């Protein structure tokens, strides 16, 4: 199985650049802080504690060079796992929140990705709880960069503190600009949050795991061919799923909902895409044929234009 998973050509569709940063790299960026402190930052009492840690990592990325460094490190790790294609989510909302200019940061990230064995596209992501104006600024940044590998616009952060209904106009704007649409939803809230994201026009759902509680929603996702970006380790580490055997991946898959496997924040969760496949096999009995079809979904549901 290990050889099979390594040899399998894989794609990452739900992967945050900032969440990919290892504690050791944070220590390199901020040598005055012991690495143990960064390891401690990467343990979360609950989902909101994770969101706070995510913002703290964003703050430690101070310069375009810092962003370039973490992009290099991430792409090396992806290439080593035979990940052929990645849509990397950049928290442009956090960059603006820090009061930084996004242009030089994006240019540095993009340059750092050139020459990688991994084909890369970008998703710019706004933070729900930062509100609609901040989200619109992120959509504008994305719209200006559709010729530079930005394929989609998304929202993440707190579903509770930033309901999807706020973002109707923003998503309409992004769509008119030619961007594809995704939203984190049904991660820390129930299926109603997934319905609300679909109402916005989301074409993929980040996590969407609570859809398993709503048979009508499962039918809808299957009938409309809307994939869920599943990240098993993430859900356990942030505490939105309490125990591995309670994760609904099997229920979702068996209901015929398209699923893709992803690592979400591999540095912050100390996981990898290959490990997510291994976990799916070990804990949920996915066969090699099933895992191959899930891996193919990673390419099938990509937002890149098919060339």
Residue ranges that bind Zn ion, judged by CB under 5 A:
264
Cα separation values, 143 from 172, 206, 230, 288, 289, Å: 12, 21, 27, 39, 39
Q: How far is the CB of 194 from Zn ion (least distance, A)?
A: 15
Least gap, CB of 228 to Zn ion (angstroms):
12
Which one of 10, 12, 13, 19 is in contact with ligand HPA (CB under 6 A)?
19
Measured from the CB atom, is 16 or 121 closer to ligand HPA? 16
Which of 140, 78, 143 is CA-nearest to residue 112?
78
Query: Long-range contacts: 75-79, Cβ < 8 Å, 24+?
Result: 75/112, 75/113, 75/116, 75/117, 75/118, 75/120, 77/20, 77/266, 77/272, 78/12, 78/116, 78/118, 78/273, 79/116, 79/117, 79/118
Which residue, 90 or 221, is less far from Zn ion as judged by CB?
90
For 94, the token pair is 């956090």
Structural tokens at position 100: 């930084």
Distance, in Å, from the CA atom of 113 to the CA atom of 55, rounded to the nearest integer, reads 23
Binding-site string for ligand HPA from residue 42 to residue 61, where x marks contact by CB under 6 A and - marks none = ------------x-------
Q: Which of residues 230-289 bind ligand HPA (CB under 6 A)?
A: 234, 264-265
Q: Which of 121, 184, 204, 247 binds ligand HPA (CB under 6 A)?
A: 184
Residue choice 187, 229, 275, 276 for contact with ligand HPA (CB under 6 A) = 187
Number of residues that bind ligand HPA (CB under 6 A): 10
Closest CB to Zn ion among 264 and 275? 264
The candidate with the shortest Cα–Cα distance to 167, out of 187, 143, 191, 196, is: 196
Q: Which of 10, 16, 77, 110 binds ligand HPA (CB under 6 A)?
A: 16
The HSE-up count of residue 217 (CA atoms within 13 Å, CB side) is 24
Q: Of 87, 140, 187, 229, which one is the catalytic site residue?
A: 187
Binding site partner of 303, from Zn ion, ligand HPA, none, Cβ cut-off 5-8 A by kind: none
Q: Binds 187, which of Zn ion, ligand HPA, none (CB < 5 to 8 A, cut-off by type)?
A: ligand HPA
Contacting ligand HPA (CB under 6 A), which of 156, 191, 208, 227? Answer: 156
Q: What is the dihedral of CA 47, 260, 255, 196, to 10 degrees?
A: 50
Centre a 10 Å sphere on the Cβ of residue 298 and count the other Cβ atoms it contains: 26
The sign of the CA dihedral 124, 166, 230, 49 is positive
Least distance between ligand HPA and beta carbon 92 (Å): 12
275 binds, among Zn ion, ligand HPA, none (CB under 5 to 8 A by kind): none
Q: How many CB atoms lie within 10 A of CB 189?
A: 17
Annotated catalytic residue 187: yes
Active site residues: 187
Question: Which residues in this chain contact ligand HPA in the complex, by CB under 6 A?
Answer: 16, 19, 54, 156-157, 184, 187, 234, 264-265
């Amino acid at each position: 199985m290990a050889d099979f998973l390594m040899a399998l050509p894989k794609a990452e569709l739900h992967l945050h650049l900032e969440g990919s940063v290892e504690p050791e790299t944070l220590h390199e960026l901020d040598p005055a802080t012991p690495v143990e402190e960064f390891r401690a930052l990467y343990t979360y009492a609950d989902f909101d504690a994770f969101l706070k840690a995510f913002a703290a990592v964003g703050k430690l990325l101070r310069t375009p060079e810092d962003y370039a460094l973490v992009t290099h490190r991430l792409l090396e790790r992806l290439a080593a796992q035979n990940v052929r294609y990645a849509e990397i989510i950049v928290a442009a909302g956090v960059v603006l929140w820090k009061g930084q200019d996004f242009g030089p940061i994006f240019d540095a990230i993009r340059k750092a990705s050139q020459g990688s064995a991994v084909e890369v596209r970008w998703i710019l992501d706004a933070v729900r709880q930062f509100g609609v104006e901040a989200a619109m600024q992120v959509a504008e940044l994305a719209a200006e960069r559709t010729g530079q590998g930005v394929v989609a616009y998304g929202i993440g952060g707190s579903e509770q503190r930033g309901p999807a209904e706020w973002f109707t106009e923003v998503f309409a704007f992004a769509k008119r600009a030619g961007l594809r649409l995704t939203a984190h939803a049904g991660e820390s809230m129930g299926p109603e949050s997934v319905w609300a994201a679909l109402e916005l026009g989301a074409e993929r759902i980040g996590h969407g795991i609570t859809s398993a509680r709503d048979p009508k929603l499962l039918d809808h996702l299957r009938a409309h061919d809307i994939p869920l970006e599943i990240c098993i380790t993430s859900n356990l580490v942030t505490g939105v799923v309490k125990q591995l055997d309670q994760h609904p991946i099997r229920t979702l898959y068996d209901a015929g909902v398209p699923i893709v496997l992803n690592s979400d924040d591999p540095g912050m969760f100390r996981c990898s895409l290959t490990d997510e496949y291994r976990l799916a096999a070990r804990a949920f009995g996915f066969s090699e044929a099933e895992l191959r079809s899930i891996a193919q979904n990673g390419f099938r549901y990509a937002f890149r234009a098919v060339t």
